[in-house]
Amino acid sequence: MSYRASDLADILEGKLEGDPEVIISGVAKIEDARPGDATFLANPRYERFLGSTQASLVIVSSEQKTGVSTVIRVADPYRAFAHLLELFYPPESPPAAGVHPSASIGTDVTFGEGVCIGAQVVIGEASTLGDNVILYPGVVIGNRVIIGEKTVIRAGVSIRSGVQIGRKVVIQDNVVIGSEGFGFTPGDEGDYEKVPQVGTVIIEDEVEIGAGCTIDRATLGATRIEKGVKLDNLIQVAHNVVIGANTVIAAQSGISGSTTIGRHCIIGGQVGFVGHVTLGDGSLVGAKSGISKSHPPGSKVSGTLAKPHGEEMRIQASLKKLPELIKRVDRLEKEINHLQSQLLENPPLSKKSE
């Protein structure tokens, strides 16, 4: 597959500068690109490669200074690059259409058209798969599960009974959805009794869930991941959590029971939320933060005991000065002691002289 630079400019709705006839036959990172490749520049950290890249074409933002002979200028170079990737790398072929003979399918399972059910898949009773659902090998689906059309579920995923999954959802490998949450009540002898977890999980349309995530079913009602949410790998979502539409959460974060995260939030990696709190819509949470209380919409917080980001940054900057500050206070105490004793020995005479 190859394209002229001018064709790519049309496809990307960008502005071409340089030779419209350059032939592009591949895509590469700016530091790896070879003649014939298109590349892009989005993150300023990579600007230093502009001078030396061998790429025949660089996709840049409208203001970017280059020095490169052929560029396409677009509003969002990373997004344009994503389109190029789709163009040059057609998606991997899924398992063969139909149901693999080694799969174990329960009674009363309903399949839409064009489903691809891989080897060793297990589907329980009375589950429903929409059109063009793809289940990769080793997926285990419980009873009465509903999966919407065009949803793709990767190898080794376990979807427990009663879970509902929307359309165009992507679930990466070895995810668990609908496991029983951490609900125990103290028994009489220092032990714990299990609280039945009889609710479910609802995953709305266009959600993506990263490899190894665990999403517990609700005690009662539903744990809910709203439309367009993107979860990175190894994230823990406890019972009765709600994550609002189009929120993105980076890897290894954990959300405790009954906490609600608003829409359009951006949450860093290794963040922890306590239970029963609310994070308002449009909030930003720094990596490794600990969210121990509710925050209103539009919050920007960070820190192990999360605070407004500006305050946390001031504290972090101050911390570097703390060891020296202690010495300064030591010195001040000595000096003030000295002054006091000086004045005690030799009090100002004004009083006496009055």
Catalytically active residues are: 239
* 2 is an interface residue for a copy of itself by CB under 8 A: no
* 342 is an interface residue for a copy of itself by CB under 8 A: yes
Q: Closest approach of Cβ 106 to a copy of itself, in Å? A: 9
Binders of a copy of itself among 111-140, rule CB under 8 A? 118-120, 122, 136-138, 140
Of 1-9, 11-19, 50-58, 336-344, the window that binds a copy of itself (rule: CB under 8 A) is: 336-344
- The pair of three-digit structure tokens given for residue 16, joined into one six-digit string: 């071409």
Of 3-11, 12-20, 64-72, 313-321, the window that binds a copy of itself (rule: CB under 8 A) is: 313-321
Q: Closest approach of Cβ 6 to a copy of itself, in Å? A: 23
108 residue type, one letter: D
* 297 is an interface residue for a copy of itself by CB under 8 A: no
Q: Which residues pair with 242 in a beta bridge?
A: 224, 260
What DSSP line would sit under 174-220, residue for residue?
Answer: T-EEEE----EEE-TTS-EEEPP---EEEE-TT-EE-TT-EEEPPSS
d(CA 316, CA 311): 9
List the one residue from 21, 51, 67, 190 that touches a copy of itself (CB under 8 A). Answer: 190
List the one residue from 19, 36, 146, 307 that touches a copy of itself (CB under 8 A). Answer: 307
Given the complex with a copy of itself, which of 97 and 305 has the nearer CB atom?
A: 305
Binders of a copy of itself among 44-73, rule CB under 8 A? 45
CB atoms within 10 A of CB 210: 20
* 143 is an interface residue for a copy of itself by CB under 8 A: yes
Which residues make Cβ contacts (< 8 Å) with residue 186, sequence separation at least 6? Answer: 192, 193
The conformation of residue 108, written as its DSSP 8-state character, comes to T
d(CA 214, CA 314): 35
Residue where the block lists tokens 């949410």: 229
List the one residue from 17, 47, 131, 173 that touches a copy of itself (CB under 8 A). Answer: 173
d(CA 76, CA 60): 8
Q: Closest approach of Cβ 309 to a copy of itself, in Å? A: 13
List the one residue from 149, 204, 216, 226 that touches a copy of itself (CB under 8 A). Answer: 216
List the one residue from 23, 36, 174, 297 that touches a copy of itself (CB under 8 A). Answer: 174
**# residues contacting a copy of itself (CB under 8 A):** 127
Query: Among 283, 280, 282, 286, which residue's Cα sits nearest to residue 309?
Result: 286
Using a 10 angstrom Cβ sphere, with 0-12 exposed, 13-18 middle and 19 or more buried, the burial of residue 70 is: buried
Binders of a copy of itself among 224-263, rule CB under 8 A? 228, 230, 232-234, 236, 238, 240, 246, 248, 250-252, 254, 256, 263
Q: C-alpha distances in angstroms, 5 versus 24, 131, 222?
A: 7, 38, 50
Is 180 within 8 Å of 197 (Cβ atoms)?
A: yes
Q: C-alpha distances in angstroms, 26 versus 42, 56, 251, 312?
A: 18, 10, 30, 45
- The pair of three-digit structure tokens given for residue 156, joined into one six-digit string: 């080794």
Given the complex with a copy of itself, which of 69 and 292 has the nearer CB atom?
A: 292
Of 3-11, 63-71, 109-117, 195-203, the window that binds a copy of itself (rule: CB under 8 A) is: 195-203
* 75 is an interface residue for a copy of itself by CB under 8 A: no
* 223 is an interface residue for a copy of itself by CB under 8 A: no
32 residue type, one letter: D
List the one residue from 150, 160, 224, 295 that touches a copy of itself (CB under 8 A). Answer: 160
Radius of gyration of the chain from its Cα atoms, rounded to whole angstroms = 29
* 104 is an interface residue for a copy of itself by CB under 8 A: yes
Of 2-10, 50-58, 60-68, 210-218, the window that binds a copy of itself (rule: CB under 8 A) is: 210-218
d(CA 98, CA 157): 19
Q: Closest approach of Cβ 161 to a copy of itself, in Å? A: 5
* 210 is an interface residue for a copy of itself by CB under 8 A: yes
